[in-house]
Structure 1
Amino acid sequence: MPSKLWPYITPGIPDELFERLPGIPMSKREVRILLISLLQLQSDSVVWDIGAGTGTIPVEIGLLCPQGRIIAVERDSDVVSLIRQNCDRFEVDNVEVVEGSAPECLQDLSPIPHRVCLEGGRDIKAILAEAWKYLQPGGRIVATASNLESLYGISEGFAQLQVRHVEVVQSSINRLERRGGSQSFEAINPMFILSGEKLD
């Protein structure tokens, strides 16, 4: 059933509709649209979102894939509560929020995923390698990097895991913002989005 707050069948929920906490990162609207398109979702996809932050990706996927199941992983209890608030806000009932630290907690997740979304992490290469173990054959993984260290870790991890059909996109987005009596374009921090497939 569609959300009253976002009664559409497209991604791209405006950022301001989500509840926020100071200092908790949030994938911006335009980046989410890119990321979700690269996941190549199906209506019943099982998706693990590791490092779910504010919960924007689980909410968007939950609305787009009503027969799917999304597992959102976060280590901080306050952030876990925030994700649940946003799921309730958008009336999403197919998201399970798991409080735990990746990669250690991944072995306890079920069911195993068709898609993995990896949004940052202190040891992103180790998280990537562990998530890859559980990704179903034919599944896709999408990972984001906002700094050089993460980009290098993901790139090296993709090579070692022999991820196939790799794509790398860098977002370069400017939004028209009002500042006093004038309007100007403000840049959104660039983000690398890496994606690929597990063939066997």
Structure 2
Amino acid sequence: MASPLWSYVTPGIPDELFENLPGIPMSQREIRLLMLCQLRLKSTSVLWDIGAGTGTIPVEAGLLCPAGQMIAVERDEEVARLIRRNCDRFGVHNVTIIEGNAPDCLKSLPMPPDRVCIEGGRSIKDILTEVWHHLNPHGRVVATAANLESLYKISESFAELHARNIEVVQSAINRLETRGTNQTFAAVDPIFVLSGEKVD
């Protein structure tokens, strides 16, 4: 799908093209690329993005899969409006925004997913358990962890849910930045990206 701001068929929209608000988390471009790669989207995928933040994942996935359906779950009303503005900026029309708290709101989402992206979340184990009930067979879940505690909880949940084909990737990314008259490499905070599949 063509976008007025991003006319390429590849993902990797620069962070600065998205509207953002102070204090609202945004998956940085390189992390987003890892997540999209691990989601293994199909042209007709139904994706749930839980804790959608600025909406970078639904926007990118919506552009990649114009025949698919993206459902962005966000508990904060102002942030949900931000997601809508970013969808409008990129001309993405296949994103449905649901305002609600996960895992409670997941029971009433309009269609079961075959792909789920979970970005953070204090109730990550409860969210994963609820997601698993709705996930279609052979569906994939991708979750991020920014600290050891989240990494442990996601890993433990995947084991309890009998997830298969589990993969764990830790990012190690440096970006070239200009500081004064010099160019230097600045590290992007490392993130764990975990993925697993439901086999039945």
- The alignment's TM-score, normalised by the length of structure 2, stands at 0.99
Matches within 5 A, 1:167-178: 167-178=167-178
Offset at residue 109 of structure 1 (A): 0.3
Q: Which residue of 1 aligns with 2:9?
A: 9
Tell me the C-alpha RMSD between the 2 structures: 0.5
Offset at residue 4 of structure 1 (A): 1.1
For 1:55-95, what per-residue CA distance to the aligned partner results, in whole angstroms no more than 9, with x for missing partners? 00000000000000000000001100100000000000000
**Aligned-partner Cα distance in 1 for 2:7–2:39:** 22
Q: Which residue of 2 aligns with 1:49?
A: 49
**Aligned-partner Cα distance in 2 for 1:53–1:152:** 23
Runs (5+) with no aligned partner, structure 1: none
Q: Which residue of 2 aligns with 1:29?
A: 29
For 1:126-155, what per-residue CA distance to the aligned partner results, in whole angstroms no more than 9, with x for missing partners? 101101110000111000000111111101
Runs (5+) with no aligned partner, structure 2: none
**Aligned-partner Cα distance in 1 for 2:14–2:185:** 17
Matches within 5 A, 1:50-199: 50-199=50-199
For residue 186 of structure 1, give the secondary structure of its aligned residue in structure 2. strand
**Aligned-partner Cα distance in 1 for 2:169–2:135:** 22
Letter in 2 for 1:28: Q
**Aligned-partner Cα distance in 2 for 1:91–1:66:** 11
For residue 47 of structure 1, give the secondary structure of its aligned residue in structure 2. strand
- The alignment's TM-score, normalised by the length of structure 1, stands at 0.99
Letter in 2 for 1:188: V
- Give the total of aligned pairs: 200
**Aligned-partner Cα distance in 2 for 1:146–1:82:** 23
Letter in 1 for 2:106: L
Runs ≥4 in structure 1, deviation > 4 angstroms? none
Offset at residue 27 of structure 1 (A): 0.3
For residue 8 of structure 1, give the secondary structure of its aligned residue in structure 2. coil
Letter in 2 for 1:126: D
**Aligned-partner Cα distance in 2 for 1:7–1:98:** 27
**Aligned-partner Cα distance in 2 for 1:79–1:8:** 27
For residue 113 of structure 1, give the secondary structure of its aligned residue in structure 2. coil
For 1:5-36, what per-residue CA distance to the aligned partner results, in whole angstroms no more than 9, with x for missing partners? 00111110000000000000000000111110
**Aligned-partner Cα distance in 2 for 1:152–1:21:** 30
For residue 195 of structure 2, give the secondary structure of its aligned residue in structure 1. strand
Letter in 2 for 1:42: K
**Aligned-partner Cα distance in 2 for 1:138–1:110:** 19
For residue 117 of structure 1, give the secondary structure of its aligned residue in structure 2. strand
For residue 88 of structure 2, give the secondary structure of its aligned residue in structure 1. helix
